[in-house]
Amino acid sequence: MSTVKTAVQDQFGAVAEHYRTSVVHARGIDIDRIVARVREYSNPEVLDVGCGAGHVTAAVAPWSRSVIASDFTPAMLEQVHVLARERNLTNIETREADVEQLPFADQRFDLVLSRLSAHHWPHPLNGIRECLRVLKPGGLLLISDIIAPEEPALDTFLQVIEYLRDPSHVRDYRISEWLDMFSQAGLSAYVDLTLDVPLDFGAWVTRMATPAAQVTLLRQFLSSAPSEARQKFAIAEDAHFTIQGALFAATRLPD
């Protein structure tokens, strides 16, 4: 197992319940849009990869024949079961799985979904290819994640604060990088939606149980940010800030 994947399991296993109660993860216009896209299909079979605490899984379950929530961290899958019981959802299954080696048959699912997970994938192109493999012809792949600015300096700024908060972070990719990876996988993808993600600094570091020394560094880094970064990320005096996200969509063409 790679060092990155071990870090993901260690980091998220300890804080899984925080993600079930996180407002940022439970709500969002991208979740609403994902539900709308799922409802375009009649009684679909759905896979949610990197499902975390299961907020997307629970949102689409009422409109699906079945949903499999898969994640690399067993503690997260336990939270999916809690959420399903709270909402009386009976068509949800869970499966521990690595997105780069999905344990599902070719062309099984009508839709494959992922939200706020891909920035932890060590090899996102491999993950996209696996998602494509398990999609039926005509099936839809939807990936929503935080995106980095196209400007190199602002891109670097974002990666630094992400890594200081969470050492299992790999990378927030630029829109151009995402579209290139989809193309390499043989998919013609497009940006279905962009969104702002406001972050309360205290909740952001508490959710990940960021050590106090790193919290201090983060506050210093944000407070001393250059004007370009302060404007781009709307950094406030209390260290609250805003990052951007995008929902990517791609349909598997018939073979």
Kindly calculate the radius of gyration of the chain based on its CA atoms and give it in whole angstroms.
18
Judged against a pLDDT cut of 60, whether residue 166 lies above it is answered with yes
Please determine, for residue 80, whether its predicted confidence score (pLDDT) is greater than 80.
Answer: yes
Q: How many CA atoms lie within 13 A of 129 on its CB side?
A: 10
DSSP string, 70-93: EES-HHHHHHHHHHHHHTT--SEE
Q: What is the mean pLDDT of residues 143-163?
A: 97
pLDDT for 5 beyond 90: no
| Helix H or strand E encompassing 35 | helix 29-38
Take residue 135 and report the two structure tokens written for it.
């999609």
> 251 is written with which tokens?
């349909």
Q: What is the pLDDT of residues 41-76, one digit of tens each?
A: 999 999 999 999 899 999 999 999 999 999 988 888
Residue 78 in this model has a pLDDT that exceeds 60 = yes
> All domains of the chain, ordered by start, with CATH?
3-150+167-198+243-251 (3.40.50.150)
In which residue are the tokens 């018939």 written?
Answer: 254
By mean pLDDT, which of 3-17, 203-217, 234-248 is the weakest?
A: 3-17
3-state helix, strand and coil shares in percent for the chain, rounded to the nearest 5: 45, 25, 30
Predicted pLDDT of residue 207: 85
> Which pLDDT value is given to residue 132?
98
Give this prediction's pTM: 0.91
| Residue 158 token pair | 């974002």
- The confidence score (pLDDT) of residue 255 equals 75
What is the residue whose two structure tokens read 């344990």?
103
- pLDDT tier, 252 (very low <50, low <70, confident <90, very high otherwise): very high
| Residues 6 or more apart in contact with residue 88 via CB below 8 angstroms | none
Backbone angles phi, psi at 235, to 5 degrees: -75, 125
Q: Is the pLDDT assigned to residue 128 strictly greater than 90?
A: yes
The secondary element (H helix, E strand) that includes residue 141 is strand 135-147
Q: Is 21 exposed, middle or buried (0-12, 13-18, 19+ CB in 10 A)?
A: exposed
Rounded distance, CA 41 to CA 176, Å?
A: 29
Main-chain dihedrals φ then ψ at residue 99, nearest 5 degrees: -60, -25
Token pair of 189 as six digits: 């993808």
What would the 3-class secondary structure string for 179-218 be? HHHHHHCCCCCEEEEEEEEEECHHHHHHHCCCCHHHHHHH
- β-pair type (66-71, 109-115): unpaired
* 144, containing H or E segment: strand 135-147
Q: What is the mean pLDDT of the chain?
A: 91
